[in-house]
Structure 1
Amino acid sequence: MVKPSGGSIDRLLKSPPPEMRVFVIFGPDSGLVRERAQILSQAIAGDPDDPFNVTRLSDEDIKSDTAALADAMAAMSMMGGERLVRVRLSADSAPVARWISEFEAGSMPAEGRLVVEAGNLTKASKLRKAAEDGKRSAAIACYEDNARDLIALAEESFQAAGLSLAGEARHALAGILEGNRELARSEIEKLMLYKGFDGGEVTLEDLAAISTESGDAALDKIVDAALCGEPGEADQQYRRALDSGASPVAIVRALQRRIDQIERYHQLGGDQAALARAGAPRFGPPAQRFQAAARAWTRTRIARARDIAFETERAIKRSGSPAEALAGETLLRLARAASPQRTR
């Protein structure tokens, strides 16, 4: 039974023991789940996106093919190196839990290692229990960072970039970093890019400038139009972004981030306080647009939207189809699904 905590988690992620074959990373902080899964995957495979040694599976893959996970874990490396299977789930998964239990019992082969990203699994979860009970499996919980943790994360990043944080800016920065780990890192990176690489101090003026000059505004317009059920507006904003040099992959990832925010908003109660904790817009028209999208994508529907966005990114990376067409088709598909006529 391996349930690492504190500093032992970082050590496990960066240098996973060879005898550990299964890692279930779960918790309410979806950004931290993804970050830890990426660090661990890189430690295992070197390149987490290597098409030869890395296999990605989703909820739909496992539901549609009961042998998909077993086949992927039994496959041997064609090019040498460590094999890795990455599974992203939106909830508990009995098939994955069953595979882990059978692997621990010695009836399932594992040529590679398995990294599972899941949501907030309860103690009664079959998947969590299978990982916690196994001798060659680890269950890694990802809970919300508090303000002190987030400021420490920011200062560590600033220090590596030759920057420091002004004392009077600490409290304001804690408010900006509210939300999950992924969103916090995004804000930290914006500040570092804004300050450049000549060193210096991050001040209140810098925080104000970043809050009004977000480079994600154009992507937000596309994503909000799609998730609010406005196909025409989504297509128009998408074309403008492409003409300005935006990457289809960046747009799909912005879509994924917004979907994660909506799901987290619902999980946290769907009220005003949940906006801040989900890392969503909190004031004015952006907050109104977010809440409109959240009404269209209820808690029961949002998981399907995530699967669609995830499959689109995977298709862009693996197929010969134009990335622009795949991303555009996904935006229109979600916009039609979210239109008032379809959600009544």
Structure 2
Amino acid sequence: MKVKPRDIDRTLQSPPGAIQVFLLFGPEGGLVRERGETLARSLVPDPDDPFAVSRLSEEDIKSDPAGLADAMSALSLTGGGRLVRLRLSGDSPAAAAWLKDFEAGAAPAEARLVIEAGDLKKGSRLRKLAEEGKRAAAIACYAESGGDILAFADQLLGEENLTLAPEARALFAPLIEGNRQLARAEIEKLILYHGTAQQRGGEPGVITREDIAEVCAAGGEAALDQVVDPALLGDPVSADRGYARALSAGLSPVGVLRALQRKIDQIDVAASAGGDPGALARAGVPRFGPPADLFRQQSRLWTGRRLDHARKLAFDAERAVKRSGAPVEAIVGELLIRIARGAQSARR
């Protein structure tokens, strides 16, 4: 079925039991990813549980066309519900073939499936099958207005008893407009900067214009680029030196980690949207000149499984730094070296 825009939030928060396959698609890659995460949290207790969640990439089902069927028919090892997450850049004959068999009752399914795809046109076979299916739902993800993104920011900040001052709101809107996933990253940095409601003892907090300039992409980005860019280009020596300078200048290791995660997301968003200047704009990176050329170099090194692995390494590092007493500086430093070595390997 085709989910109407007014029903999307309700579907993500309370997925209908009769629907087993969810296709998220559209030109707004950040929103596709964000809604995929929301849906995953609604479908399984822990979206990061490897026993409950299987992750597949486009390369996985290209190299093994039966991989999706195998993942969907596998029984749960723990007795609970299972989820399969499939990430695509566009239409997929293998995924469409499985979905056609599933709707016809010829493909067993012991799990629910969330597909995150690129901008599928109306003639796309996968999109057509999901929109016309009885046990599948198609959810289109198009660019949101500035008001929609600010409402999203207010929601996340409100959960931590934080509000945006009027002048901060005016500065913040252009930084986050057009990409839900990048917006979440910037909002989480502000929450980390101010502290969670629990860390503040429940006291309300107000985010000022100065906070935005200090914490978000407009402030401190150049210093963080001196760490993140060499790592993603395969220069561990420069990345390590930049990291040492960043720490000496007062930047936090967590800030460096967030910058790396943001750049990984930008590479993914740009690639999903086609990699042209318009795609770079949607990813929130420069479209022309040396900065754009640098980003394209990074994008050529980080594709497919390699990019997925980089995201997993960053996620594992984030989990590690949240543990009490964790050596945060060392964890992030080791992550940067591993990323740089991965880029070195890709360049050979």
Specify the alignment match of 1:158 in structure 2: 157
Q: CA RMSD in A?
A: 3.6
Specify the alignment match of 1:129 in structure 2: 128
Cα 1:231/1:127, change in 2 over 3 Å: farther
Cα 1:316/1:74, change in 2 over 3 Å: farther
Find out whether 1:52 has 2:43 as its counterpart.
Answer: no
Query: What is the number of residues matched between the two proteins?
Result: 325
Cα 1:54/1:193, change in 2 over 3 Å: closer
Give the SS at the match of 1:108: coil
Cα 1:169/1:242, change in 2 over 3 Å: closer
Specify the alignment match of 2:293 in structure 1: 292
Specify the alignment match of 1:332 in structure 2: 341
Cα 1:176/1:252, change in 2 over 3 Å: closer
Q: Which amino acid aligns with 2:165?
A: A
Find out whether 1:205 has 2:206 as its counterpart.
Answer: no
- Which structure 1 residue ranges, 4+ long, deviate > 6 Å from structure 2? 215-218, 238-244, 246-252, 315-318, 322-327
Residue in structure 2 matching 1:305, options 290, 303, 306: 303
Specify the alignment match of 1:185 in structure 2: 184
Shift of 1:26: 1.3
Find out whether 1:33 has 2:32 as its counterpart.
Answer: yes
Shift of 1:290: 3.5
Cα 1:240/1:81, change in 2 over 3 Å: farther
Give the SS at the match of 1:106: coil
Find out whether 1:168 has 2:167 as its counterpart.
Answer: yes
Residue in structure 2 matching 1:263, options 265, 268, 271: 271
Cα 1:216/1:57, change in 2 over 3 Å: farther
Question: Does the 8 Å CA contact 1:226/1:335 hold for their aligned counterparts?
Answer: no
Question: Does the 8 Å CA contact 1:104/1:136 hold for their aligned counterparts?
Answer: yes
Identity percentage of aligned residues? 46
Shift of 1:176: 1.8
Cα 1:238/1:164, change in 2 over 3 Å: closer
Q: Which amino acid aligns with 2:277?
A: G
Counterpart Cα distance in 2 of 1:164 and 1:326:
33
Q: Which amino acid aligns with 2:230?
A: A
Counterpart Cα distance in 1 of 2:138 and 2:74:
24
Deviations, residues 140-170 of structure 1 (Å, cap 9, x unaligned): 1111111111121122233332233333333
Give the SS at the match of 1:259: helix
Q: Which amino acid aligns with 2:309?
A: E
Cα 1:210/1:313, change in 2 over 3 Å: closer
Question: Does the 8 Å CA contact 1:312/1:327 hold for their aligned counterparts?
Answer: no
Question: Does the 8 Å CA contact 1:256/1:306 hold for their aligned counterparts?
Answer: no
TM-score normalized by structure 1? 0.79
Cα 1:62/1:193, change in 2 over 3 Å: same
Long gaps (5+) in structure 2 = 317-330
Give the SS at the match of 1:139: strand
Long gaps (5+) in structure 1 = none
Cα 1:240/1:74, change in 2 over 3 Å: farther
Shift of 1:316: 8.9
Residue in structure 2 matching 1:278, options 274, 283, 288: 283
Counterpart Cα distance in 2 of 1:193 and 1:171:
21
Question: Does the 8 Å CA contact 2:25/2:119 hold for their aligned counterparts?
Answer: yes
Specify the alignment match of 1:9 in structure 2: 8
Specify the alignment match of 1:143 in structure 2: 142
Cα 1:27/1:213, change in 2 over 3 Å: closer
Q: Which amino acid aligns with 2:268?
A: D
Give the SS at the match of 1:76: coil
Give the SS at the match of 1:138: strand
Find out whether 1:74 has 2:81 as its counterpart.
Answer: no
TM-score normalized by structure 2? 0.78
Counterpart Cα distance in 2 of 1:325 and 1:194:
23
Deviations, residues 71-110 of structure 1 (Å, cap 9, x unaligned): 1111111211111111111222110011001100111001
